[in-house]
Amino acid sequence: MHPALQRLVDANDDLERAERALEAAQEQRRQCARDLAQIEDQSERVSAAVFAYHRFGKGLSLALAEAVTGLPGKKGQSAFLVLAGRMQYQPRGHGAGGGGEPSEPMTEWPAPDECEREIIRAHIAHGRDYWIDRGLGWGCLRTSLRPPEAAAYLKDATGALAGHFGLSREAFVEWLSSCGSVGCEGRNKDATRCKSSVAGRTVQLDVEDWKVAVERGGYCRRHGGDPDYDPRAVRRAHAHSASR
Ligand SMILES: [Zn+2]
């Protein structure tokens, strides 16, 4: 055999060995995932499986579901994914997650990754609300989406959240990228917009307080703003009178 052909034959043997090794490693990992069933304490078992799911992602949800629920197949998997979604937002006890809060203000809501998409689809299939609880670096966004909203969130996360809060996409992005601040509507001497922070507590507002503050408009102290104005108090008062 010509040495060049021999090298190709050898390279092919190497590849086949590597593929067999990969398959064996994957099967071993699945078996280890199923072995989580050996953890006797139920809440420890569930949180171990959810941790593994978020850490190792695709290809393990069936085995993990089996370990947690004892049910084989899709039924256990779907129930497990709903559980994983619910537990995702608990304080993380395993030092998992990776990433954490972004340091730059966002200009788009990040699209869900494949793990999260799978969880959202399981919530939709079960007719359950999907919880979002995300740190933004300067604040956080906590809300729950009804199944139809969650379906829209899968297609366009930014647009779906904007709609959920009754904001236009542009307004929602402005809230995100301004870190929840509202700029003064007054004009400078050169007719440009002042944009100083509005008197009262108008930085790092959560999205619903921000919406109230924007609807009211406002002015900085220099432009005659009311220093006692607090959109959070306005919204609370509003919610209170509406609930009567
Ligand atoms: Zn101003």
Q: How many CB atoms lie within 10 A of CB 166?
A: 11
CA-wise closest residue to 42 among 87, 98, 95: 87
What is the pLDDT at residue 102?
A: 59
What's the pLDDT at 218? 73
Residue type, 243: S
Distance from Cα 194 to the centre of ligand 1, integer Å:
5
- Which pLDDT does position 200 carry in this prediction? 59
pLDDT for 53-84, tens place per residue?
A: 888 877 888 899 999 988 888 888 888 888 88
Q: Identify the CA nearest to 86 among candidates 42, 125, 116, 52.
A: 116
Compare 220 and 66 and report the one with higher pLDDT.
Answer: 66
- CA 88, 92, 94, 100 dihedral sign is positive
The token duo for 4 is 């060049």
- Measure the CA–CA gap between 185 and 177, rounded to whole angstroms: 18
- How many whole angstroms from 21 Cα to the centroid of ligand 1? 67
Tell how far the Cα of 223 is from the centroid of ligand 1, in angstroms: 5
Cβ(158)–Cβ(108) below 8 Å? yes
Distance CA 87, CA 220 (A): 42
What pLDDT was estimated at residue 99? 45
pLDDT of residue 134 exceeding 70, the answer is yes
Which residues, including other chains, have CB under 8 Å from residue 88's CB and lie 6 or more apart? Answer: 50, 54, 119
pLDDT tens for 171-216 read: 999 999 888 888 787 888 888 888 777 765 557 888 988 888 888 7
Examine the pLDDT at 25 and tell me if it is beyond 90: yes
- Over 70: is that where the pLDDT of 227 sits? no
Question: Which pLDDT score is estimated for 223?
Answer: 79
pLDDT of residue 57: 72
Using one digit for the tens of pLDDT, what is the confidence trace for 86-97?
A: 776 544 333 334
- At residue 98, does pLDDT exceed 60? no
Distance 60 CA to ligand 1 centre (A): 55
Q: How far is the CA of 199 from the centre of ligand 1 (A)?
A: 9
Taking the centre of ligand 1 as the mean of its atom positions, its distance from the CA of residue 182, in whole angstroms, is 11
SS3 188: coil
What are the strands, taking DSSP E only, across the chain? 130-135, 140-145
Per DSSP, 137 falls in state S
pLDDT digits (tens, 9 = 90+) for 27-52: 999 999 999 999 999 889 988 998 89
CA of 196 to the centre of ligand 1 (A): 5
Residue 77 and residue 65 in contact, taking contact as beta carbons nearer than 8 Å: yes
- Going from the Cα of 28 to the center of ligand 1, the distance in angstroms, rounded, reads 64
Tokens representing residue 170 in the block: 């542009």
Q: Place 222 in a pLDDT band, splitting at 50, 70 and 90.
A: confident
Ligand 1 centroid to 166 CA: how many Å? 27
> What single-letter amino acid sits at 117?
R
Phi and psi angles of residue 98, each rounded to the nearest 5 degrees, phi first: 70, 140
pLDDT at 90: 46
Average pLDDT, the chain: 83
Give the per-residue pLDDT at 93. Answer: 38
Q: Tell me how many degrees the CA angle 194-109-92 measures, rounded to the nearest 5.
A: 115
Q: Is 126's pLDDT higher than 50?
A: yes
Structure tokens at 75: 């039924």
Residue 186 Cα to ligand 1 midpoint, Å, equals 5
| Residue 177 CA, ligand 1 centroid: distance in Å | 20
